[in-house]
Amino acid sequence: QLQLVESGGGLVQPGGSLRLSCAVSGLTLDYYFITWFRQAPGKEREGVSCIGRSSSGGWTYYLDSVKGRFTISKDNAKHTVYLQMNNLKPEDTANYYCAADRNLGICSLNRFVYHYWGQGTQVTVSS
């Protein structure tokens, strides 16, 4: 059974850092596109960062507002995808989800194309 479990969220001050983890099971990580999404109260879920399959080059993509601050990576041996978040801002506050899909031609930040989702982990940036 395919499962994604997020962890690593918490409360952090502006300018601080967090590393989120997405542990996957029931799939071969290297065959899937994995994307981090976030959803703040009253807002739509938005794609934050995607990492592609190794066979497709393993390219990474980022939402403009997080470029230079967030880094996505994966460890196939540990079946885990990470999102390192630095210089966090209050507007980064949201519930963060990871999502997976195999049948994409390229990485996508579009939430409607992903079939598998985790339950989310809350990130709160506040002083």
pLDDT tens profile 40-81: 999 999 999 999 987 777 789 999 999 999 999 999 999 999
- Give the whole-number percent of the chain exceeding pLDDT 70: 100
Q: Which long-range contacts (CB under 8 A, 24 or more apart) does 41-46 make?
A: 43/94, 45/97, 45/111, 46/109, 46/111
* Sequence-separated (6 or more) residues with CB below 8 Å from residue 61: 49, 50, 52, 107, 109
User: Are β-strands 70-75 and 60-62 bridged in parallel, bridged antiparallel, or unpaired?
Assistant: unpaired
Q: What is the pLDDT of residue 87?
A: 98
What is the Cβ-side half-sphere exposure of residue 94, based on CA atoms within 13 angstroms? 21
